[in-house]
Chains A and B, each alone.
Chain A
């Protein structure tokens, strides 16, 4: 009978709880077990004065800005770990990037965890360590968090929800409705890496490949781009639904046409091969470390050079341009010179036999 863990797990259980290497319902009860979990697993890696204060809310003192950028996201990826990344890295970078896509400098994150009963604590530790390493790279702090535990079978191991807050870097409006005919479309690197890496890790389709997820924080890339030019009209990270869906959204929001050229699309041979085999189109596959930029034509080369000088923009390429017509549509020019419409992804992508 250990004195270390008198449990207040309610309804109160008279039996002493024996330390476990797995998450149990008691970890979510709000009592000492949860406190212990937070202190031993969450806080050390994410440590900062705000979290150390152990209050219900984190109080921060940013330089008072005229506006704030705020974004929130839930991460439910399965499996939790895959080549090139994991759910923790995804959670931090995903929200960092959303904030960066409006031209803001991400500063603070909150992280809320839903843990499945039975999750190995060591798994949780790995995820949190990964979050910290991404947070460090991005230069953000996790200033508030929450933990809940749900029954076995209800959370695929772990779900993470994050909210990010950032300070806009520029007074210029950057948004999906700002694209102008004549603007140039730039993609920061190869398409489809993340989606294929996750699919491979899932194992259902039985293929093997070395493709690594491209999860990365893009805020430094964005600030370099903004320094290079005030003529950046749109920034968008093509996550679920891929480049095709993101460009369709921009076409619709800005009421313009978008024309891309198939031969200029950066694509890793292995990603292309996986897509061929399964019958997928890389234009629709998720990316988590790439961005699309719609830039004033005169500044395009400058922005491209600036991107290529950064770690996550080395393979940036001009992939197309904004046109007057057809409004609200994305067209692609094939290597043969024909043009076809590239629609938004509808529904789930399924491997096909035809």
Chain B
């Protein structure tokens, strides 16, 4: 139910009373409504679903997730028995 694609907000403007943005998806641009992400600024990345930004993407979280995952799976490569795992930091 969720074809949401990440894109970069390159322009913000008002149209017929709505906060709108021009979003760049790696070489394809489309207008998206930003009413649901009023804090959005030019340069932010958003998940766009049917022409609406539904959430902003966090660079920090993205990086942290990949790093954490790398740690887990690369540490896991040294383990021998199933069922035992390295101590896992619990992100909350």
| A contact face: mostly helix, strand, loop, or mixed | mixed
Decide: A206 near B27, CB < 8 A? Known: A277-B5, A353-B3, A354-B3: no
Question: Are B29 and A209 in contact, with the CB atoms below 8 A?
Answer: yes
Chain B residues near A270 (CB-CB < 8 A)? 26-28
Decide: A206 near B28, CB < 8 A? Known: A279-B3, A353-B1: no
| Residues of B5-53 whose CB lies within 8 A of A | 5, 7, 25-31, 48-51
> How many Å from the CB of A92 to the closest CB on chain B?
29
Q: Is B2 an interface residue (CB 8 A)?
A: yes
> How many Å from the CB of A272 to the closest CB on chain B?
8
Q: How many residues of A contact B (CB 8 A)?
A: 18
Q: How far is the CA of A239 from the CA of B12 in the complex (A)?
A: 38
Question: Are A276 and B1 in contact, with the CB atoms below 8 A?
Answer: no
| B contact face: mostly helix, strand, loop, or mixed | strand
Q: Is A171 an interface residue (CB 8 A)?
A: no
> How many Å from the CB of A275 to the closest CB on chain B?
9
Decide: A206 near B51, CB < 8 A? Known: A270-B27, A277-B25, A354-B2: yes
Chain A residues near B49 (CB-CB < 8 A)? 353
Q: Is A154 an interface residue (CB 8 A)?
A: no
Q: How far is the CA of A274 from the CA of B49 in the complex (A)?
A: 14
Question: Are A353 and B28 in contact, with the CB atoms below 8 A?
Answer: no
| Residues of A264-312 whose CB lies within 8 A of B | 268-270, 272-274, 276-277, 279
Q: Is A208 an interface residue (CB 8 A)?
A: yes
Among B5, B25, B28, B51: residue with most chain A CB under 10 A: B28
Q: How far is the CA of A206 from the CA of B51 in the complex (A)?
A: 9
A residues lining the B interface (CB < 8 Å)? 206-211, 268-270, 272-274, 276-277, 279, 352-354
12 extra interchain contacts, Cβ-Cβ under 8 A, other than A269-B26, A277-B48?
A206-B51, A209-B27, A269-B27, A273-B26, A273-B27, A274-B28, A276-B5, A276-B25, A353-B50, A354-B1, A354-B2, A354-B3
